[in-house]
Amino acid sequence: MKTSLEQQNYAHFVDRRSVSERSPAVGPERRQFSASVHPTRPEIAELSAAVDQYKLSHRRRFITHEEFYDIIVGLGYHK
């Protein structure tokens, strides 16, 4: 049996995982490499943007080390 406090808490609960036509997702999707602080070095900003673009185009929230390496090579870096 639920107490009145539990019922009140449940009434205010919003399941943000489900998106419906009535309640579209608000704001941009969170990304792993997007930071609240803007990088001061342009090469860091370029890498961050490339990782985010890869994630968006491949519908991935997290990437593997191999995928990260492929992104770096795609930007023209080599050993």
pLDDT digits (tens, 9 = 90+) for 20-35: 655 555 565 555 565 5
Q: What is the 3-state secondary structure (H, E, C) of 22-61?
A: CCCCCCCCCCCCCCCCCCCCHHHHHHHHHHHHHHHHHCCC
Instruction: Give the angle 32-16-20 at the CA atoms, nearest 5°.
Output: 115
Cβ contact 17:42 at 8 Å: no
44-75 tens-digit pLDDT: 889 989 999 999 999 998 999 999 999 999 99
User: What was the pLDDT predicted at 63?
Assistant: 94
